[in-house]
Amino acid sequence: MLACSLAKEGAFSLPLSRIRIIRHEEIAEFTPKVCVQCSDASCITACPVGALSRNADTGAINLDRDACMGCRQCVTACPYGGVQFDPIRNIPLICDLCGGAPACVEACQLPQAIRYVQYASKEA
Amino acid sequence: MQTSYPGRWLIVDLSSETIHREYIPPKTLEQFLGGRGIGAKLLWNLVSADTDPLGEDNAFIIAPGVLSGTSAPCSGRTTLLAKSPATGHYLKSNIGGQLGIALKLAGVDGIVFTGKAKRPVYLAITPDQWQLNPADDLWGQGVRTTTNLLKKRHGADAEVVCIGPAGERLVQFAAVMTSYYNAAARGGIGAVMGSKNLKALVIDPRFGKLEIADPDGFTRAVKKARDLLYSDSIAQDLHKFGTARDVDLLNELRILPSYNFQKSHITGEMRRISGRAWPELGYLKSIVGCGGCIYSCHRFTRIDAGKYAGTYSGGPEYETVASFGSGCGILDPEPVFVANALCNDLGLDTISTGGVIQWAMESIQRGALTREDVDGLDLSFGNGDAVIEMVKKIGYREGFGDLLADGVARAAEQIGRDSEKWAVHARGLEQSRVEIRGAYAYALAFAVNPRGPDHLHSECLAEFGGTKEGIALIKRLTGDEKYAIPNTEDKRAEIVRWHEDIYAVSDALGLCAFTTTAAYSLQEELIAELLKTATGITLTGSSLMQTGKRILTLERCFNLRDGLCPEKEDKLPWRIMHESQPDLPGGGEPITPERLKRMLSEYYRLHGWDNQGMPKKATLDALDLAFTLPQLSAAYSKCSNSKENTDYN
């Protein structure tokens, strides 16, 4: 979360991270919520103004900030809870895989709980 | 410029229930950084030689590291400080979990508590808001229940720091706990909280934000640091098997303290108490890291079947296994897990709890105590159930546990009958469970540790020559890798000196000591780069080490002001100084007073201290510590006969 917020926002902040972790520390159970890059992305379908699109190179969801009107349809549409929302700027926070070099993967090399694997498009 | 460390402190006076914010001057921040450094400086100002550790006049300080809250690897550590109930002198105790991140993101760079609340209270912190709340309903609860109740009240993402029943009852080795299972264990820091009627803190960091001086430079430095740490020899093993991973190997090498240091190996099928065996035995349920950690060395264990079924907790760590396992002559891991879980919930230091029980066991063995004396329990070595019962008695100060709760030094004084000889402590702190009779840098480091004999002041793991990084370091420090062997006096002072500086720097920055003195990957220049890009504070690698030296010299001055004369106080437990350990390879001669004196004299010289271990005036001047001098004159006239120091008086 810290590596993510630094990479995307230039500062450390838990709510500005694209990752959420539901922590149940008493029994050491940690459930991460993050964009899993669905092949049929319900957030793209849900967006009424077409502000979300898939990046052809990385396969990640990209946000067109100018088009976005902050309706949060994408947040509710995501079945994985992978879309966060910044109420100050009124935009969703969706993982864009840092353009192909995700900061979170770099920070998680021992447990390898997050790995970056090649995107296979539907046509391929 | 935005920095990760503006020095925003909270000053909480519990007597008047008032809280105000104070800013530490930039010059002080630069000289002492954060964590243990700034904590030591504030503690110096707040207490005096006359301060009673359990009195209203003691201060209790919580100081996260400078880098805590950032993505610097393993940077989430916090130092707690006070005058120690166990030793009566300087105490710092370091804690992991999520506390450091939570405080920093909530905009708090440290907290000072003074006075004593009239009734039990807890401090609630959200960004830019803080208040003291009544804690009557929490008083008496264990750590798990307290944490759950506060999370229910303040949100699941709030971090809780608290004491258990042991801290409330002023057990001299009560711990402060956070994130359920992380402890600031040593020296009775939990009893200080208890003496102030301060049950807990709860910190909600969710809406805070922490900015740094140079995000791009910081990202590059962090990447460098991570790459080095990932490729370190210990990385994989530490992550997979935890700190208790080599208990079986240490036993094979005959350096595993057993039966209260009477032996250094334990006979019988003992592999089950080694962390390496827990995955296959089904005890290991999860691997857990502190906030900001990239190694994740903590365990989460549970017993699924048998008479202890349902016991679960964080850990146990190496020290806990050596304490309740081999130290108590126990080969079955399950009583060790149960004792560990109890200590975590009661809020007890596992090292000292195991230490006092081992002393009682040996007292029974030698006839200095009878079964009637210990409430009818069969405290023979190897009896797990008796150990478990005694842990509870200590936590609640019941029966014989009430005496043990005062620490092994006071217990031995009360019982007498030569039992001081197997009370393995110095200055009132139970020694950590490391066999130092064959590891001379460890022995020297234990003897000079201001809080008492343990490994958490300068862990000199490199002297064993166990990893290529450790051997390379020994070569850098001494000029020859042949000194990477533990049972020689040669070059030990040089080795300790480097380790104590880097350790102080790690503690000040909030870095886990495993990054600098177990994994030897993170060294001076790179740490300086992390510091600079995070805060804008520019120090070279060597001036950073000078800062480390400043911190630990101030800690020494603290004990000097209390009237501790180094020549008498730089010592080890009686057993270590007078009895050999024949189990050890090479015969395990004791660290005799003469041997220790030879190493100390070289150590003092390297520090710029006189031959009685008193810092010279020029040394204090060079470290900007001249402000200590007015309060040290009594110590100099009492302890020093050196001509060099006549100008102090």
B568: CB partners within 8 A, 6+ apart: none
pLDDT at B624 over 50: yes
Task: For B524-575, write each residue's pLDDT tens digit.
Answer: 999 999 999 999 999 999 999 999 999 999 999 999 999 999 988 999 999 9
Q: With contacts defined as CB-CB under 8 Å, which chain A residues touch B204?
A: none
Q: List phi, psi (to 5°) of B455.
A: -90, 0
Give the start-to-end residue ranges of the domains of chain B.
Answer: 8-203, 256-430, 440-648
* pLDDT mean values, one per 10 residues, chain A (124 residues): 95 94 94 91 96 91 95 96 94 93 92 82 50
- The β-bridge relationship of strands B182-184 and B78-83 is unpaired
Residue of A nearest to B284 (CA): A28
For residue B235, what is the nearest residue in chain A, using CA coordinates?
Answer: A110
Structure tokens at B581: 């350990």
At which residue do the structure tokens 């000072």 appear? B112
User: Mean pLDDT, chain B, as a whole number?
Assistant: 96
Q: Which residue has the higher pLDDT, B201 or B7?
A: B201
Comparing B207-211, B355-359, B373-377, the range with the smallest average pLDDT is: B207-211
Q: Which stretches within B329-439 are classed as H helix?
A: 333-346, 350-365, 384-395, 400-404, 408-415
Residue A9 pLDDT? 94
Of B180, B206, B209, the CB nearest to A11: B209
- Quick one: which of A78, A17, A72 has its CA closest to A43? A78
How far apart CA B460 and CA B322 sit, in angstroms, is 19
Tens of pLDDT, residues B143-164: 999 999 999 999 999 999 999 9
Looking at residue A122, its pLDDT comes to 52
The reply to whether CATH 1.10.599.10 applies to domain B440-648 is: yes
A88 at the B interface (CB within 8 A)?
Answer: no
User: CA nearest B145 in A: which residue?
Assistant: A26
Confidence of residue B386 (pLDDT cuts 50, 70, 90): very high
Mean pLDDT of B591-614: 96
Q: Smallest Cβ distance to B144: which of A26, A106, A107?
A: A26
For chain A, say whether B223 makes contact (Cβ under 8 Å).
yes
In angstroms, the Cα distances linking B361 to B12, B133, B357, B380, B429 are 43, 43, 6, 6, 18
Reported as a pLDDT band with limits 50, 70 and 90, residue B3 is low
Q: In chain A, which residues have their Cβ closer than 8 Å to the Cβ of B285?
A: 28
Quick: pLDDT tens for B22-38.
Answer: 999 999 999 999 999 99
According to the model, what pLDDT value does residue B644 have? 53
User: Does domain B8-203 sit in CATH 3.60.9.10?
Assistant: yes
B62-78 pLDDT per residue, tens:
999 999 999 999 999 99
β-strand A29-33 against A20-24: which pairing, if any?
antiparallel
A3 touches chain B (CB under 8 A): yes
CB contact residues (below 8 A), chain B span 336-375, against chain A: none
Residue B463: partners with Cβ closer than 8 Å, 6 or more residues away: B439, B440, B441, B442, B470, B474, B483, B484, B485, B486, B492, B495
Is B206 an interface residue toward A (CB < 8 Å)? yes
Q: Which domains does chain A have, with CATH numbers?
A: 2-106 (3.30.70.20)
For residues B122-134, average pLDDT = 94
H-type alpha helices, B454-523: 468-478, 492-509, 514-517
Fold exhibited by the domain B256-430: 1.10.569
The percent of residues above 70 in pLDDT, for chain B, comes to: 98
* pLDDT for residue B293 is more than 90: yes
Residue B127 predicted with pLDDT over 90: no
Distance from CA of A57 to the nearest CA of B (A): 24
Of B101, B147, B235, the CB nearest to A110: B235
State the pLDDT at residue B646. 45
CB contact under 8 A, A111 and B215: no
The dihedrals phi and psi of B44, each to the nearest 5 degrees, come to: -55, -45
**How many CB atoms lie under 10 A from the CB of residue B294?**
26
Distance separating alpha carbons of residues B568 and B466, to the nearest angstrom: 33
User: What is the predicted pLDDT for the residue at B205?
Assistant: 87
The single-letter code of the amino acid at A96 is D
User: For testing the chain A interface, which of B5, B151, B182, B209 should be mutated: the one with the most A CBs within 10 Å?
Assistant: B209
- Residue B649: the pLDDT is 40
- pTM for the whole structure: 0.96
* Tens-place pLDDT, residues B234-290: 999 999 999 999 999 999 999 999 999 999 999 999 999 999 999 999 999 999 999
Nearest residue in chain A measured CA to CA from B218: A6
Please check whether residue B375 is in contact with residue B393, taking contact to mean a CB–CB distance below 8 angstroms.
yes
Nearest CA in chain A to B229: A110
Q: Which of B640, B616, B620 is nearest to B628 (CA)?
A: B620
- Which residues in chain B are closer than 8 Å to A12, comparing Cβ atoms? 4, 69-71, 104-105, 209-212
Q: Looking at beta carbons, which residues of chain B come within 8 Å of A110?
A: 230, 235-236, 239, 294-296
Percent of chain B with pLDDT over 90: 94
ipTM of the complex: 0.90
The length of chain A in residues reads 124
What is the arithmetic mean of pLDDT over B466-481?
96
Residue that has been written with the tokens 């209790």 in this structure: B60
- Say yes or no for a CB contact (<8 Å) between B209 and A106: no
What residues are paired with B203 via a beta bridge? B125, B159
- Chain A within 8 Å of B126 (Cβ-Cβ)? no
Q: At which residue do the structure tokens 């990477």 appear?
A: B484
The answer to whether the CB atoms of B179 and A25 lie below 8 A apart is yes
Confidence of residue B1 (pLDDT cuts 50, 70, 90): very low
What pLDDT, on a 0 to 100 scale, did the predictor assign at position B643? 53
Chain A touched by B231 (CB under 8 Å): no
- The CA distances from residue B537 to B93, B212, B528, B577, in Å, are 25, 11, 9, 44
| Residue-level pLDDT at B586 | 85
Tens digit of each residue's pLDDT (9 = 90 or more) over B387-413 = 999 999 999 999 999 999 999 999 999
Q: Is the pLDDT confidence value at B647 over 90? A: no
